[in-house]
Chains A and B, each alone.
Chain A
Amino acid sequence: DIQMDQSPSSLSASVGDRVTITCRASQSISTNLNWYQQRPGKTPNVLIYAVSKSQSGVPSRFRGSGSGTDFTLTISSLQPEDSATYYCQQSYSTPYSFGQGTKVEI
Chain B
Amino acid sequence: QVQLQESGPGLVKPSGTLSLTCAVSGDSISSINWWTWVRQPPGKGLQWIGEIYHRGDTNYNPSLERRVTISVDKSRNQFSLKLTSLTAADTAVYWCARDYKDCSGRRCIGWLDPWGPGILVTVSS
- Taking Cβ atoms with an 8 Å cutoff, the residues of A that contact B are 1, 30-32, 34, 36, 38, 43-46, 49-50, 55, 87, 89, 91, 94-101
Contact = CB atoms under 8 A, between A and B. Distances in A.
B116 A43 contact: yes
Nearest to A55: B113
Contacts of B115: 43-45
Secondary structure of the B contact surface, majority rule: strand
A43 B116 CA distance: 8
A38 B117 CA distance: 12
B35 interface: no
Contacts of B95: 43-44
A91 B59 contact: no
**Nearest 9 A/B pairs, CB to CB:** A49-B111, A94-B59, A95-B61, A98-B46, A34-B111, A91-B110, A46-B113, A101-B45, A96-B48
Interface string B15-43: 00000000000000000000010100000
A95 B59 contact: yes
A98 B111 CA distance: 12
